[in-house]
Amino acid sequence: MKIGLTYDLRDDYLAEGYTKEETAEFDRRDTIEAIDKTLRISGYQTDHIGNIKSLVHRLASGDRWDMVFNIAEGLYGFGREAQIPALLEAYGIPYTFSDPLTLSLCLHKGMTKHVLRNFGILTPDFMVIETEEDIAHVEIPFPLFAKPVAEGTGKGITTASKITSPYELQNICRMLLAKYRQPVLIESFLPGRELTAGIVGTGNEAVALGVMEIHLKDHAETGVYSFTNKENYEELVEYELIDDAMARDAKETALAAWRALGCRDAGRIDLRADTQGRPNVMEINPLAGLHPVHSDLPIICNLAGISYHELISMIMRSAMKRRIE
């Protein structure tokens, strides 16, 4: 069976002049090599396609695949993660992970939270700031938390993201609106434990593989799982697999969110505990990083005794069910 690989290689974009932060969500070459090696060990024939421009060229040339293992993040717009899946659907080619609707919805954190609220799933109170004029209409009590509405990997998050006054609210919102050229998500700041749950499977067959707690070291940026802390996690962050009452609550909440948003195959749900100790959904990651050592989902699997090979196999088994059906 021929499996195409679609991805955005970070080195390619750095060579074009994009910054480290702009390319933070793109993949390293060794991530692609690890996925390729694992698929070939499992008996698949692999074909490196690359980014969406390469995919367009290959499709126009008549190339086709039995399945595409897609981890491309895209570069522009709220639909950037959905572009390759939508193109593959137009050609009737099956692919791994979530569909265009789910990927676009989950990328926009404000829209995600509207859906979560509709399903009765805990998430912090929030408001989306579209323009500077909206800042004056924020009525959520301090402390607050601010971040770009459609970024990942901690982009736009620093110690200044925690807001305790109207002055700080004005400053951070204006800066984020100008720098990222997209709306800003304002949320109630939750003071509790920071968790992330790893999930594999689709619909009722989805299971939570484990819950990992994030501990910031003394010399990390304080109070937030920021872009800097994530980029330098080996020096600044400690990860712990937990299995207490909160972990069990987090698994239940994460699976409810996963199913509500229609996520597929594998990903992560980020959660944080409120003042009552209840895990709230912060973000849904339906296209989670897959570096075998540095990405959170494989780290969770490693801590839970699940090999990288088994993780990729579970993803493929989940995706193959749609191809058979």
pLDDT of residue 66: 97
β-pairing verdict for 194-200 and 266-273: antiparallel
Strand segments, DSSP code E, in the chain are 2-6, 45-50, 67-70, 126-129, 144-148, 162-163, 184-188, 194-200, 207-216, 237-242, 266-273, 279-285
218: CB partners within 8 A, 6+ apart: none
Does residue 287 sit in helix, strand or coil? coil
pLDDT of residue 205: 97
Q: What are phi and psi of 95, to 5 degrees?
A: -150, 165
Number of neighbours of residue 60 by Cβ within 10 angstroms: 8
β-pairing verdict for 45-50 and 2-6: parallel
pLDDT of residue 324: 66
Residue among 279, 217, 275 at smallest CA distance from 248:
279
Instruction: Please say if the pLDDT value at position 226 is more than 90.
Output: no
Please give the distance of CA 185 from its chain centroid, rounded to a whole number. 16
DSSP one-letter code for 64: -
Does residue 50 sit in helix, strand or coil? strand
Number of neighbours of residue 131 by Cβ within 10 angstroms: 10
pLDDT band at 26 (very low <50, low <70, confident <90, very high): very high
pLDDT of residue 228: 80
Mean pLDDT value of segment 195-219? 96
pLDDT band at 287 (very low <50, low <70, confident <90, very high): very high
Over residues 240-275, the pLDDT tens digits come to 999 999 999 999 999 999 999 999 999 999 999 999
* CA atoms of 277 and 98, how far apart (whole Å): 30
* CA atoms of 252 and 57, how far apart (whole Å): 43
* CA atoms of 48 and 3, how far apart (whole Å): 9
Q: Angle between the 109-118 and 100-107 helix axes, to the nearest 10 degrees?
A: 100
pLDDT of residue 20: 85
pLDDT of residue 122: 98
pLDDT of residue 128: 98
18: CB partners within 8 A, 6+ apart: none
* CA atoms of 52 and 83, how far apart (whole Å): 8
Mean pLDDT value of segment 273-299? 96
* Burial track 244-266 (b if 16+ CB lie within 10 A, e otherwise): eebbebbbebbbbbbbbbbbbbb
Mean pLDDT value of segment 284-295? 96
Mean per-residue pLDDT of the chain: 95
* CA atoms of 238 and 249, how far apart (whole Å): 22
Mean pLDDT value of segment 120-133? 98
Percent of the chain topping pLDDT 90: 88
Strand segments, DSSP code E, in 61-206 are 67-70, 126-129, 144-148, 162-163, 184-188, 194-200
Mean pLDDT value of segment 25-49? 97
pLDDT of residue 225: 82
Mean pLDDT value of segment 44-48? 98
Mean pLDDT value of segment 41-55? 97
pTM over 0.85: yes
* CA atoms of 49 and 6, how far apart (whole Å): 5
Instruction: Please say if the pLDDT value at position 105 is more than 70.
Output: yes
Q: Which domains does the chain have, with CATH numbers?
A: 2-95 (3.40.50), 125-188 (3.30.1490.20), 191-324 (3.30.470.20)
Mean pLDDT value of segment 159-171? 96
Q: What are phi and psi of 165, to 5 degrees?
A: -155, 160
Instruction: Write down the residue that tokens 């070291």 correspond to.
Output: 217
Over residues 303-318, the pLDDT tens digits come to 999 999 999 999 999 9
Mean pLDDT value of segment 160-186? 96
Instruction: Please say if the pLDDT value at position 325 is more than 70.
Output: no
Q: Which of 46-60, 104-118, 222-236 bottoms out in mean pLDDT, i.e. has the lowest?
A: 222-236
Q: Are 195 and 245 in contact, with CB atoms under 8 Å apart?
A: no
Mean pLDDT value of segment 137-157? 93
